[in-house]
């Protein structure tokens, strides 16, 4: 059952009451109110800062084994409670229950990966010029961190930051997504039961701008991590830059998909329809600009349309549903405007194009062809269930078109020709490139962008880099 959700500060839950302002959490499938969410004011933020500061004084000296044990416990608890976490996530975020369950189960692996890697945060000895000197390089936790995570993958985005901060020996204040808070609240509870001391992880909700500017400005905070839109990311990076604070940013993208003539059309269409309509297209690495070789484009479009028409849209709690609602009304308004702009610019609408009548934020799976490259659809991240398709004839030219935007998060290529695959891998400007399958986001592989899509990787061997400072110690051991 969906219940009121509180702030979590210094190991205590603070639920909505007459002293704590709150907002409603709404089910995007039905527009019904699910519960109340407590919102933080300055007093709560000060308490969270104080708790995180005091906890850091202890947690920074915890053993790697102790931190690893907490993260392993987190992994085990998540797996045993995955069904109930997923059901609540479907209610507030909207994604189909099977997708929510897959997100929770898969993301338990982030805790396991961080549990393993935190035992390998090695320093090194550097041979000194003077034999009486010992030179060591050590890694230290950066300090109190603040993080801001979005509503599209509430569990995934939050657990990555929580595990990396806690595993490195940092403490964290995380502002979760007000629109889909249940999965993040579940995580805070799980970390506590896994043995994480009070104050190491604090959770707040409320006015995003007020919270982020207050926390980033605080001298207590040493590092800022954000996942969300490029526009907000730039604001937060500027605030952090004014105080020279460490920053990692996982921002939006507009992933190009290049399908070469040698591709297996049916296989590629199955994969792309599945990837595109997952989470109603609200995925930062969603395939979103489709360039198909002119020799196969007619066959590709026919095949893709056939598969798109079978995507069943509905309430995520219905097991027949393939695609749930958009998480909030803003996404529908934005998407509708982007589609209308494309049509005005001369694009052809082959499927969908508008919201589904009735309650809920449902949008039709949409396919457009011949979308001018200067239309908003080809310039801005659509973040919705829409496939814009354009033909290409020359691989080098289409790679240049793919690279022409300021984004650089993910890119996809399909070809049965090894030389073409090598050209795609070498030429595409993106932090993550997937060829002939959809293979991004594993715990053991780095996740992050280049260009305006951000900096700093989450996951992979790089995952702790953002949460550690490098300190060089030179010691004269004999006089
Ligand atoms: P938004 O940029 O206002 O919000 C995105 C997330 O950032 C939300 O969770 C929000 O609470 C948070 N946020 C907003 N302003 C903030 C601030 N000043 N300080 C701290 N956190 C803040 O936009 P939106 O309407 O929710 O989504 C719009 C677009 O953002 C989407 O269409 C998409 O392009 C992008 N987005 C990207 C991701 C991602 O995974 N990279 C996730 C969500 C949204």
H or E element at residue 411: strand 410-414
On the question of pLDDT at 31 being above 90, the answer is: yes
DSSP 458: B
Per-residue pLDDT of 36-92, as tens digits, reads 999 999 999 999 999 999 999 999 999 999 999 999 999 999 999 999 999 999 999
Task: Indicate the top mutation candidate among 23, 92, 229, 326 to test ligand 1's pocket, ranked by most ligand atoms within 8 A of CB.
Answer: 229
Q: Could you tell me if the CB of 252 is within 6 A of ligand 1?
A: yes
Look at residue 315 in the predicted model and tell me its pLDDT: 98
Q: Please tell me whether residue 115 adopts helix, strand or coil conformation.
A: helix
Look at residue 41 in the predicted model and tell me its pLDDT: 96
Q: Beta partners for 26?
A: 33
Per-residue pLDDT of 144-167, as tens digits, reads 999 999 999 999 999 999 999 999
Per-residue pLDDT of 80-108, as tens digits, reads 999 999 999 999 999 999 999 999 999 99
Q: Could you tell me if the CB of 330 is within 6 A of ligand 1?
A: yes
Task: Please give the C-alpha separations between residue 294 and each of 153, 291, 299, 386, in angstroms, as whole numbers.
Answer: 35, 9, 10, 20
Let me know if 250 is a catalytic residue.
yes
Contact at 8 Å (CB) between 290 and 388? yes
Let me know if 284 is a catalytic residue.
yes
Q: Could you tell me if the CB of 412 is within 6 A of ligand 1?
A: no
Band (18; pLDDT cuts 50, 70, 90): confident
Task: Please give the C-alpha separations between residue 232 and each of 213, 288, 304, 436, in angstroms, as whole numbers.
Answer: 11, 21, 34, 33
Residue 281: CB partners within 8 Å, gap ≥ 6?
A: 288, 382, 383, 384, 385, 386
Look at residue 17 in the predicted model and tell me its pLDDT: 87
On the question of pLDDT at 479 being above 90, the answer is: no
Per-residue pLDDT of 250-264, as tens digits, reads 999 999 999 999 999
DSSP 433: E
Q: Could you tell me if the CB of 288 is within 6 A of ligand 1?
A: no
Q: Whose CA is nearest to atom 7 of ligand 1?
A: 228
Helices 64-93, 182-193: axis angle to 10 degrees equals 150
On the question of pLDDT at 19 being above 90, the answer is: no
Q: Give the residue from 361, 358, 354 showing the smallest Cα distance to 330.
A: 361
Arithmetic mean of pLDDT, 327-354: 97
Distance 229 CA to ligand 1 centre (A): 5
Look at residue 358 in the predicted model and tell me its pLDDT: 86
Rounded to the nearest angstrom, the gap between the alpha carbon of residue 267 and the centroid of all alpha carbons in its chain is: 27
Arithmetic mean of pLDDT, 460-469: 97
Distance 72 CA to ligand 1 centre (A): 30
Number of the ligand 1 atom closest to the C-alpha atom of 150: 9
Phi, psi dihedral angles at 186 (to 5 degrees): -60, -40
Tokens of 16: 């909505």
Catalytic residue among 99, 103, 250, 380: 250
Q: Could you tell me if the CB of 251 is within 6 A of ligand 1?
A: yes
Distance 233 CA to ligand 1 centre (A): 9
Q: How much is the CA Rg of the chain, to the nearest whole Å?
A: 23
Q: Could you tell me if the CB of 151 is within 6 A of ligand 1?
A: yes
Instruction: Tell me the whole-structure pTM to 2 decimals.
Output: 0.97
CB 184: neighbour CB atoms within 10 A? 26
Band (285; pLDDT cuts 50, 70, 90): very high
Q: Could you tell me if the CB of 213 is within 6 A of ligand 1?
A: no
On the question of pLDDT at 20 being above 90, the answer is: no
Contact at 8 Å (CB) between 312 and 406? no
* Mean of pLDDT over the chain: 97
Number of the ligand 1 atom closest to the C-alpha atom of 283: 40
Q: Could you tell me if the CB of 208 is within 6 A of ligand 1?
A: yes
Q: Report the residue count for the chain.
A: 479
Look at residue 207 in the predicted model and tell me its pLDDT: 98
The overall longest dimension of the chain from CA atoms, in Å, is: 83
Per-residue pLDDT of 348-380, as tens digits, reads 999 999 999 989 999 999 999 999 999 999 999
């Amino acid at each position: 059952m969906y219940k009121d959700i509180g702030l979590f500060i210094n190991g205590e839950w603070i639920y909505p009451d007459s002293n704590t302002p709150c907002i409603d959490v709404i089910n995007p499938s039905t527009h019904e109110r699910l519960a109340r969410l407590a919102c933080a004011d300055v007093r709560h933020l000060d308490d969270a800062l104080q708790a995180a500061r005091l906890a850091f004084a202890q947690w920074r000296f915890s053993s790697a084994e102790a931190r690893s044990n907490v993260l392993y416990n987190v992994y085990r608890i998540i797996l045993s409670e995955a069904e109930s976490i997923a059901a609540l996530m479907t209610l507030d975020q909207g994604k189909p229950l099977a997708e929510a369950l897959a997100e929770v189960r898969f993301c338990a692996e982030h805790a396991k990966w961080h549990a393993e890697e935190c035992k390998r945060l090695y320093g090194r000895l550097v041979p000194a010029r003077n034999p009486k000197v010992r030179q060591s390089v050590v890694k230290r936790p950066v300090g109190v961190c603040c993080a801001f995570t979005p509503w599209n993958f509430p569990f995934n985005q939050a657990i990555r930051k929580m595990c990396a901060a806690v595993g490195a020996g940092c403490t964290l204040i995380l502002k979760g997504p007000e629109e889909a808070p249940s999965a993040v609240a579940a995580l805070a509870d799980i970390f506590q039961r896994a043995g994480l001391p009070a104050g190491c992880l604090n959770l707040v909700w409320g006015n995003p701008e007020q919270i982020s500017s207050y926390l980033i400005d605080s001298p207590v905070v040493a590092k800022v991590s954000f996942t969300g839109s490029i526009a907000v990311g730039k604001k937060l990076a500027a605030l952090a830059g004014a105080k020279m604070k460490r920053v990692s940013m996982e921002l939006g993208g507009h992933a190009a998909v290049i399908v070469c003539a040698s591709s297996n059309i049916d296989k590629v269409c199955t994969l792309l329809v599945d990837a595109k309509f997952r989470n109603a297209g609200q995925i930062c690495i969603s395939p979103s600009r489709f360039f198909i070789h002119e020799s196969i484009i007619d066959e590709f479009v026919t095949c893709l349309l056939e598969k798109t028409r079978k995507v069943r849209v509905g309430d995520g709690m219905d097991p027949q549903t393939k695609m749930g609602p958009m998480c909030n009304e803003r996404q529908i308004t934005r998407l509708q405007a982007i589609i209308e702009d494309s049509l005005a610019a001369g694009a052809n609408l082959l499927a969908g194009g508008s919201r589904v009548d009735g309650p809920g934020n449902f949008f039709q799976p949409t396919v457009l062809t011949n979308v001018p490259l200067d239309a908003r659809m080809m310039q801005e991240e659509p973040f919705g269930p829409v496939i814009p398709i354009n033909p290409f004839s020359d691989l080098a030219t289409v790679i240049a078109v793919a690279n022409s935007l300021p984004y650089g998060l993910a890119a996809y290529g399909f070809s049965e020709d090894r030389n073409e695959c090598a050209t795609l891998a070498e030429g595409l400007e993106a932090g993550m490139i997937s060829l002939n399958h959809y293979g991004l986001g594993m715990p053991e592989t780095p996740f992050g962008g280049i260009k305006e899509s951000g900096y700093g990787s989450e996951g992979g061997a790089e995952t702790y880099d953002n949460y550690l400072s490098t300190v060089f110690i030179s010691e004269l051991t004999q006089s």
